[in-house]
Structure 1
């Protein structure tokens, strides 16, 4: 798929129907190369900073980040160039096609699996981690490297094969602390796409991922968007609620200059 296609022409009526019936669609090689390069550079800077902090402390693990193995780098868009992608025309069109005319940035993070390392993740729905009733949101799984089964790509279980499109009970795995919600035999469909692709799926879609068994990094960026602010029973926000679309129009401009001024 050429990068010259507009986001609107890339999200076909067939893909919109697939999202409604199965909960996901995939856009291969849709992200402009310049934005892929920017996200790679941003990710590398954050990893370098984490490694320096661990070296200074004389440790190889900081929270859930393990030096050279895995990194979860969340909510660093403020003060960085990530807003150029998060609030871009492409992401606006994805939000319109899935959430409708209202969209908020809910969460964003890098998930990095090191060479011949990196954790696997059990079958879960993203909504299973929220802890309060909410309307399903979307995850945009953006590949910064080519992804394969060998390097720990994501596997998606369509609604029709999961047997439900609703949030299911999850239990904590005592060994990994992962939440798990599907225990069937279906292996799911692996997303095998080049760098610059996006798998878009509902927070009610079951998905999992495997180990990275290759000698190369596997880097993914994950912005998530909701149709409305997601709040706990006491009214506090679960994560972000940064306005992006209102009545179908963008209310957040793309670019680093806007990153520190959006409400949360």
Structure 2
């Protein structure tokens, strides 16, 4: 099921390489999405295990993101998705890499009626790695739009170097301290 590939178009690949993100619709079939939703619900209700819950209910960070890292270690169903050939092949196609290494998965939940907006940030400063070409695959398990929390990106921001991590509870303006690439002039945000 998850071993079949979702062929990407040349346009999707080029858009990703230029802008640092791309939306790929129907990466999961409706029944797969429902299955993943069920597995994640089971995982997030589970106490203990080998995954890491980054904050507890009531904490300031939890109001920004209820996050659990490495959920695949606690649930075989989640592992089937995280370690699937379909996602690995898409990542290889987008980056042009001959191989992909999993850094981690993480479940991010915005709690109803109790969440704060997630501030603008770049993931790279949070990842302790020297390799280039890292990417995230974001899968919305619920319908989202601009009014209820869809993911938003700043095109070409992957080209901005030396961004610092952002405290998600007490954020700073990430772009105020950005070292913008000299060759591109002043980016338009």
* TM-score bracket relative to the smaller structure: 0.7 to 0.9
SS in 2 for 1:36: helix
2:135 counterpart residue number: 138
More helix, by proportion: 2
Give the unaligned 5+ runs of structure 2.
48-55, 178-189
Partner SS for 2:46:
helix
Matched, 1:167 2:161: yes
CA distance in 1, matches of 2:84, 2:171: 32
SS in 2 for 1:106: coil
Q: Hey, what's the Cα distance between the residues in 2 that align with 1:171 and 1:108?
A: 19
SS in 1 for 2:104: strand
Runs of 4+ residues deviating >3 angstroms: 59-66, 131-134, 177-180
Match of residue 122, structure 2, among 94, 117, 125: 125
2:84 is the alignment partner of 1:84:
no
Change beyond 3 A, Cα 1:137–1:41: same
Q: CA deviation at 1:75?
A: 0.7
* Structure 2 residue 174 is matched with structure 1 residue 181: yes
**Structure whose residues are more often strand by fraction:** 1
Displacement after TM superposition at 1:20 (Å): 1.4
- 1:111 is displaced (CA, Å) by 0.6
Q: Distance in 2 between matches of 1:6 and 1:132?
A: 28
Task: Give unmatched runs, 5+ long, in structure 1.
Answer: 51-58, 185-264
Q: Tell me the alpha carbon deviations over residues 21-79 of structure 1, each in whole angstroms, 9 at most, x when there is no partner.
A: 111111123212232122211221233335xxxxxxxx84379446xx85212112024
Q: How does 1:17-56 map to 2 (within 5 A)?
A: 17-49=14-46
20-29 or 115-124: bigger deviation: 115-124
Map of 2:10 onto structure 1: 13
Partner of 2:113: 116
TM-score (norm 1): 0.54
Structure 2 CA distance for partners of 1:133 and 1:114, relative to 1, 3 Å: same
- Secondary structure of the 1:21 match is helix
Alpha-carbon deviations, 1:232-263, whole Å to 9, x = none?
xxxxxxxxxxxxxxxxxxxxxxxxxxxxxxxx
Taking a change above 3 Å as real, the CA distance of residues 180 and 85 of structure 1, as seen in their structure-2 partners, is farther
What's the secondary structure of 2:41's corresponding residue?
Answer: helix
1:154 to 151, 155, 167: 151
Distance 2:129 2:135 in 1: 16
Tell me the TM-score normalised to structure 2 length: 0.73
Partner Cα distance (2:57, 2:92) in 1: 42
Aligned pairs, how many?
Answer: 164
Is contact 2:67–2:108 with CA below 8 Å preserved after alignment?
yes
